[in-house]
Protein backbone atom coordinates (compact mmCIF):
# COMPACT_ATOMS: atom_id res chain seq x y z
CA UNK A 1 0.00 0.00 0.00
CA UNK A 2 2.87 2.35 0.75
CA UNK A 3 4.28 1.81 -2.74
CA UNK A 4 0.93 2.77 -4.35
CA UNK A 5 0.80 5.87 -2.18
CA UNK A 6 4.35 6.80 -3.16
CA UNK A 7 3.62 6.48 -6.89
CA UNK A 8 0.35 8.39 -6.56
CA UNK A 9 2.14 11.17 -4.71
CA UNK A 10 4.95 11.25 -7.29
CA UNK A 11 2.45 11.39 -10.14
CA UNK A 12 0.44 14.22 -8.56
CA UNK A 13 3.61 16.16 -7.74
CA UNK A 14 4.78 15.80 -11.34
CA UNK A 15 1.43 17.13 -12.61
CA UNK A 16 1.62 20.02 -10.18
CA UNK A 17 5.17 20.88 -11.29
CA UNK A 18 4.14 20.72 -14.97
CA UNK A 19 1.30 23.18 -14.33
CA UNK A 20 3.79 25.58 -12.78
CA UNK A 21 5.95 25.44 -15.90
CA UNK A 22 3.08 25.87 -18.36
CA UNK A 23 2.86 29.45 -19.57
CA UNK A 24 -0.37 31.23 -18.85
CA UNK A 25 -1.98 32.37 -22.09
CA UNK A 26 -3.93 35.58 -21.64
CA UNK A 27 -6.73 35.97 -24.19
CA UNK A 28 -6.25 38.96 -26.52
CA UNK A 29 -9.57 40.46 -25.38
CA UNK A 30 -8.34 40.53 -21.78
CA UNK A 31 -5.14 42.30 -22.82
CA UNK A 32 -7.18 44.76 -24.89
CA UNK A 33 -9.58 45.54 -22.04
CA UNK A 34 -6.70 46.01 -19.59
CA UNK A 35 -4.99 48.40 -22.01
CA UNK A 36 -8.25 50.33 -22.54
CA UNK A 37 -8.75 50.69 -18.77
CA UNK A 38 -5.18 51.91 -18.27
CA UNK A 39 -5.38 54.23 -21.29
CA UNK A 40 -8.05 56.55 -19.87
CA UNK A 41 -9.50 57.44 -23.25
CA UNK A 42 -12.52 59.31 -21.92
CA UNK A 43 -10.28 61.58 -19.84
CA UNK A 44 -8.02 62.27 -22.83
CA UNK A 45 -11.01 63.20 -24.98
CA UNK A 46 -12.53 65.41 -22.27
CA UNK A 47 -9.14 67.00 -21.65
CA UNK A 48 -8.82 67.95 -25.31
CA UNK A 49 -5.86 65.63 -25.87
CA UNK A 50 -7.29 64.42 -29.16
CA UNK A 51 -4.01 63.54 -30.88
CA UNK A 52 -2.89 61.49 -27.89
CA UNK A 53 -6.26 59.75 -27.75
CA UNK A 54 -6.39 58.95 -31.47
CA UNK A 55 -2.84 57.62 -31.57
CA UNK A 56 -3.35 55.57 -28.41
CA UNK A 57 -6.68 54.00 -29.34
CA UNK A 58 -5.37 53.17 -32.79
CA UNK A 59 -2.32 51.39 -31.35
CA UNK A 60 -4.34 49.54 -28.70
CA UNK A 61 -6.82 48.28 -31.30
CA UNK A 62 -4.06 47.39 -33.76
CA UNK A 63 -2.31 45.47 -30.97
CA UNK A 64 -5.57 43.63 -30.31
CA UNK A 65 -5.90 42.72 -34.00
CA UNK A 66 -2.27 41.55 -33.97
CA UNK A 67 -2.76 39.29 -30.97
CA UNK A 68 -6.15 38.02 -32.08
CA UNK A 69 -5.25 37.22 -35.68
CA UNK A 70 -1.50 36.63 -35.64
CA UNK A 71 -0.18 39.45 -37.82
CA UNK A 72 1.54 42.74 -36.96
CA UNK A 73 -1.21 45.29 -37.49
CA UNK A 74 0.83 47.99 -35.75
CA UNK A 75 3.31 47.96 -38.63
CA UNK A 76 0.66 47.83 -41.37
CA UNK A 77 -1.36 50.49 -43.14
CA UNK A 78 -5.12 50.37 -42.92
CA UNK A 79 -5.19 49.16 -46.53
CA UNK A 80 -2.81 46.29 -45.69
CA UNK A 81 -4.95 45.36 -42.67
CA UNK A 82 -8.03 45.45 -44.89
CA UNK A 83 -6.44 43.05 -47.38
CA UNK A 84 -5.26 40.73 -44.61
CA UNK A 85 -8.67 40.61 -42.91
CA UNK A 86 -10.38 39.86 -46.23
CA UNK A 87 -8.13 36.80 -46.52
CA UNK A 88 -8.65 35.43 -43.01
CA UNK A 89 -12.26 36.36 -42.22
CA UNK A 90 -15.09 34.09 -43.16
CA UNK A 91 -18.09 35.64 -44.88
CA UNK A 92 -19.95 35.92 -41.57
CA UNK A 93 -17.01 37.74 -39.93
CA UNK A 94 -16.76 40.06 -42.93
CA UNK A 95 -20.49 40.78 -42.73
CA UNK A 96 -20.50 41.39 -38.98
CA UNK A 97 -17.22 43.18 -38.24
CA UNK A 98 -15.19 44.17 -41.27
CA UNK A 99 -16.88 47.51 -42.07
CA UNK A 100 -16.67 48.75 -38.48
CA UNK A 101 -12.99 47.78 -38.18
CA UNK A 102 -12.09 49.66 -41.35
CA UNK A 103 -14.34 52.60 -40.50
CA UNK A 104 -12.62 52.97 -37.11
CA UNK A 105 -9.11 52.65 -38.52
CA UNK A 106 -9.92 55.21 -41.23
CA UNK A 107 -11.33 57.67 -38.68
CA UNK A 108 -8.20 57.39 -36.56
CA UNK A 109 -5.95 57.71 -39.61
CA UNK A 110 -7.72 60.88 -40.73
CA UNK A 111 -7.50 62.29 -37.22
CA UNK A 112 -3.84 61.31 -36.72
CA UNK A 113 -2.77 62.99 -39.88
CA UNK A 114 -4.65 66.20 -38.99
CA UNK A 115 -7.00 66.07 -41.94
CA UNK A 116 -9.85 66.73 -39.53
CA UNK A 117 -10.66 66.57 -35.85
CA UNK A 118 -13.79 64.64 -34.89
CA UNK A 119 -16.00 66.08 -32.17
CA UNK A 120 -15.67 64.83 -28.63
CA UNK A 121 -19.05 63.12 -28.94
CA UNK A 122 -17.87 61.21 -32.01
CA UNK A 123 -14.67 60.17 -30.25
CA UNK A 124 -16.54 58.98 -27.15
CA UNK A 125 -18.91 57.06 -29.41
CA UNK A 126 -16.04 55.39 -31.28
CA UNK A 127 -14.29 54.50 -28.04
CA UNK A 128 -17.42 52.71 -26.87
CA UNK A 129 -17.95 51.09 -30.28
CA UNK A 130 -14.33 49.91 -30.35
CA UNK A 131 -14.67 48.13 -27.01
CA UNK A 132 -17.93 46.52 -28.14
CA UNK A 133 -16.35 45.56 -31.48
CA UNK A 134 -13.36 43.87 -29.82
CA UNK A 135 -15.68 41.92 -27.51
CA UNK A 136 -17.87 40.88 -30.43
CA UNK A 137 -14.87 39.77 -32.49
CA UNK A 138 -13.53 37.79 -29.56
CA UNK A 139 -16.88 36.01 -29.20
CA UNK A 140 -16.94 35.16 -32.92
CA UNK A 141 -13.48 33.63 -33.25
CA UNK A 142 -14.90 30.26 -34.31
CA UNK A 143 -15.80 31.98 -37.61
CA UNK A 144 -12.20 32.84 -38.51
CA UNK A 145 -10.16 30.70 -40.86
CA UNK A 146 -7.30 28.91 -39.09
CA UNK A 147 -3.92 30.64 -39.13
CA UNK A 148 -1.53 29.36 -41.74
- Quick one: how many helices (H) and strands (E) in the chain? 8, 0
Q: Pick from 20-29, 63-72, 112-121 the range whose average pLDDT is largest.
A: 63-72
- pTM exceeds 0.85 for this model: no
Tell me: pLDDT of 5 over 90.
no
**Rounded CA separation 6/50 (Å):** 64
Q: Where are the domains of the chain?
A: 26-143
> Residue 9's pLDDT band (boundaries 50, 70, 90)?
low
61 HSE (CA, 13 A, CB side) = 30
pLDDT at 128 over 70: yes
pLDDT at 148 over 50: no
| Residues 54 and 108: beta-carbon distance below 8 Å | yes
Higher pLDDT, residue 117 or 123: 123
Residue 15 has pLDDT above 90, yes or no: no
Nearest to 143 by CA among 70, 69, 71, 92: 92
In this prediction, residues 100-110 reach a mean pLDDT of 92
Distance CA 57, CA 79 (A): 18
pLDDT at position 100, please?
Answer: 95
Q: What is the pLDDT of residues 25-54, one digit of tens each?
A: 889 999 999 999 999 999 999 999 998 999
Q: What's the whole-number average pLDDT of the chain?
A: 85
Contacts 24+ apart (CB under 8 A), 84-91: 87/145, 88/144, 88/145, 88/147, 89/143, 89/144, 89/145, 90/143, 90/144, 90/145
Cα(121)–Cα(92) distance, integer angstroms? 30
What pLDDT is recorded for position 144? 53
Amino acid sequence: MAIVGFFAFSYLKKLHDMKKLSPVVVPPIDIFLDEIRAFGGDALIDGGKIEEFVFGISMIFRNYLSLQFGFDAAEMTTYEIEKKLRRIFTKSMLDRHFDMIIESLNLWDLSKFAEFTPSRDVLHDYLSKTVTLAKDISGDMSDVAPRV
